Amino acid sequence: DGGITQSPKYLFRKEGQNVTLSCEQNLNHDAMYWYRQDPGQGLRLIYYSQIVNDFQKGDIAEGYSVSREKKESFPLTVTSAQKNPTAFYLCASSMGAGRMNTEAFFGQGTRLTVV
């Protein structure tokens, strides 16, 4: 089935550690996105990529890094510089910049907790 797969579903991180969240899509979409959701709040954009080997910072990029070496993959690294990383992280994809009228498809999310 086509879709977006995020792993792991739950992730625990010790303070000072870097962790990487995986996001894979088989929808042949050009664009991919990472959002952060805090309890009772909306989704805030961390990073997005409109095409392979290119990505842009979103509204809250500090303390995060990404790569886009393959079309189907857009991993997010939460670094030790992120002061409050406990949150729900959602990955999404869409057809790309030339198709603004198309919806984004979302993964099931990764819940990250700092212990």
Partner 1 sequence: AQKVTQAQTEISVVEKEDVTLDCVYETRDTTYYLFWYKQPPSGELVFLIRRNSFDEQNEISGRYSWNFQKSTSSFNFTITASQVVDSAVYFCALRDTGRRALTFGSGTRLQVQP
Residues that bind partner 1 (CB under 8 A): 31, 33, 35, 40-45, 48, 50, 58, 88, 90, 92, 97, 100-109, 111
Q: Which two tokens stand for residue 49?
A: 């990529």
CB of 17 to partner 1, least distance (A): 24
Minimum distance from residue 77 beta carbon to partner 1 (Å): 19
Name the residue nearer to partner 1 (CB basis): 18 or 41: 41
Pick 22 or 80: Cβ nearer partner 1? 22
46 versus 78: smaller Cβ distance to partner 1 = 46
